[in-house]
Amino acid sequence: MKMSTRLGAVAFAGLWATACIETPEEGGDGYGSIGSAITATGSDGATYRLPDDSGIQVIGVSPNTFNDTYSLDGDAATITVDVPVGSYGVYLFSPQAMGPDWQLERTNPDMTTETVAATLVTPIPVDVTVLENQTSNVVFQFQVADGGTVVFAQGSLSVSIDVDVSETDNGRASFVGSLTTDDIFVDGPVDPAFFPLVGEQVFQGVEVVVNGDWTQQSSTRVCAPAFLAGGSGSHQGPFDTLVEIIQVGGTSQLCLTAFMGVTHAEYRGERQGAPVSVTWSGIAPEIHWYKNTVATLPVQVFDGETLDLGALAGSYPAPAASFEGVETLDGTATYFANYSGPVSFVFTPAP
């Protein structure tokens, strides 16, 4: 049996933010300077520094004849060197680094020292322009294993270190509301009575519990692993998508994206495997299920460095969009649906 309605543009196709750097007009044959910070004091009172033998390599793009390496070793807080005016690609390196996997040295307030794992999240190289007698910024950002953020960002063509360490509280989040079915497509040996029609109201509820550290995905986005604690629905088909994701092998995330003074809270879940639900049992031996729900909240909880889950705590009426899909690996059945409407978003920090 086959039911099909127009499959229009996906209402939710992800949230993207673009960081732009205005490049002033180059000119002259003079020099700018490179300032590089080696150590800094974090908000936790600890001092962080790059490991010994770290450095930056500055490779000219325009002019393309410049190529030099500068050590970041030493006891000074910063070092400064001059480079000709031009455009450059800046690389950060260390003998101990393996791709994005780095180690930073930390001196705690009690003067004990330790080495902490960190992930370099900034794409390398960083493209910058150095103007005569002016300051350009280059930023190297690390995610520290215990949840802190280390940002290298100061100077003329700068590498400075600023450390912000905050606790990464776990918590429970829910998205509950009646959404309108904007588009739906069902194809294959699936009972159409299990699915809503275009324009029909669908009650949906998703509840997740964050059970891991938040990690920074971009300058505006952080995500944490979670498990799907529960779900509800007024139609069998959409509800069974949650039934399938909640099974062993399913994965879920809660993501927060800062955008123009608001926060987009996003649930992402998926699973691939054998079906167990009423809707999908007997359809195919292996199926891929996935679901995204995004609510727009009138709060700002992430500023590119600090995540404030306390500001997220509470209950918010919020506009939302939801997308879900199912695909059999043998291509015998597919299902996609888009929904939009108001939900109640609730976030409760873990005790």
pTM to 2 decimal places: 0.54
Delimit the domains of the chain by residue range: 31-164, 168-349
Q: Containing H/E element for 175?
A: strand 171-187
Task: Check if CATH label 1.20.120 holds for domain 31-164.
Answer: no
pLDDT tens for each residue of the chain, 351 residues long: 223 222 222 222 222 222 222 233 333 457 776 666 666 666 566 777 888 888 888 888 877 777 888 888 876 666 666 778 888 888 888 888 887 888 888 887 788 888 887 777 778 888 878 877 776 766 777 666 554 555 655 444 444 444 444 454 678 899 999 999 999 999 888 888 999 999 999 999 999 999 888 888 888 889 999 989 888 889 999 999 999 999 989 999 999 999 888 999 999 999 999 999 999 998 899 999 999 999 999 999 888 888 888 888 889 999 999 999 999 988 888 899 999 999 999 998 765
> Cα(225)–Cα(174) distance, rounded to whole angstroms?
15
> Cα(164)–Cα(159) distance, rounded to whole angstroms?
16
For residue 225, count other CB atoms closer than 10 A to its CB. Answer: 15
Cα distances (Å, whole numbers) of residue 256 to 301, 309, 339: 8, 10, 20
Residues with Cβ within 8 Å of 333's Cβ and at least 6 positions away in sequence, in order, are: 187, 188, 189, 190, 283, 284, 287, 326, 327
- The one-letter code for the residue type at 282 is G
